Structure 1
Amino acid sequence: MSEQIDVTQELAKLQQRVEHLEERVEKAESRQGPLWFLWEAIRSILIGLFIVGPVVAIIFGVLGALSHTHQA
């Protein structure tokens, strides 16, 4: 049961990070420079790879481990 709580907490953290990224994109869109928007898009992608990627990997790892323990 604690694994489910951990997954729920990770999903809540992920949601907060996504909301933060959405706010940053909105701010970037409000600025007029096309190069600035491109830079913000690149930064968002990099942040997604280094923050969201590992969180998703952890979630799938926990879910995979849970499914193996229930099958045994």
Structure 2
Amino acid sequence: MSEQIDVTHELAKLQQRVEHLEKRVEKTESKESPLRSLWEAIRSILIGLLIVGPVAAIILGVLAALAEK
């Protein structure tokens, strides 16, 4: 019987932690402004260009060199 009480007590603690985390997530989401979302989008595009751009240039350069042969 005490094991059931311990399990119930642990489940109650876990529920409190989950509720606390849900509140923190809601608070964080409410802080996010449209300007922040725009900045995240711009940053993502710039990172993509810095990574994809040079890789595409290398691939096109190799293909052009192979086409000349």
TM-score normalised to the size of structure 1?
A: 0.48
Larger Rg: 2
TM-score normalised to the size of structure 2?
A: 0.49
